[in-house]
Amino acid sequence: MSETATWQPSGVHPNLLKRAAIMAEIRRFFADRGVLEVETPCMSQATVTDIHLFPFETRFVGPGHSQGINLYLMTSPEYHMKRLLAAGCGPVFQLCRKFP
């Protein structure tokens, strides 16, 4: 493969259009039913207790954490979604990535 070909995206345009239409339809479905779309954190200081999952761990060094702090990519949004429900947010949904 030549160096000039590496800039091209891996997604095929028709597939990207189909995916966008599917995502829009899912959002419309929930919006029509009064379900709130939310976005929960994708990283956390705590990880899951499931022994079959091995979350990705990284170290953040920055404002407020000059010595660094360990963070984990979330394997599921379940914990944060349940916190929103318990806080009285009503019906919620999200379309997100997970990192098992």
pTM over 0.95: no
Task: Please give the full DSSP string across 22-89, using - where no structure is assigned.
Answer: HHHHHHHHHHHTTPEE----SEESS----TT----EEEEEETTEEEEEEEEE-S-SHHHHHHHHHTT-
pLDDT of residue 4: 64
pLDDT of the residue at 51: 82
Does position 35 have pLDDT exceeding 70, yes or no?
Answer: yes
pLDDT digits (tens, 9 = 90+) for 38-94: 999 999 998 877 888 888 999 999 999 999 999 999 988 999 999 999 999 999 999
Mean pLDDT confidence for 9-24: 92
Mean pLDDT confidence for 26-41: 98
Q: Is the pLDDT of residue 3 over 80?
A: no
- Pick from 9-13, 14-18, 53-57, 86-90: least confident: 9-13
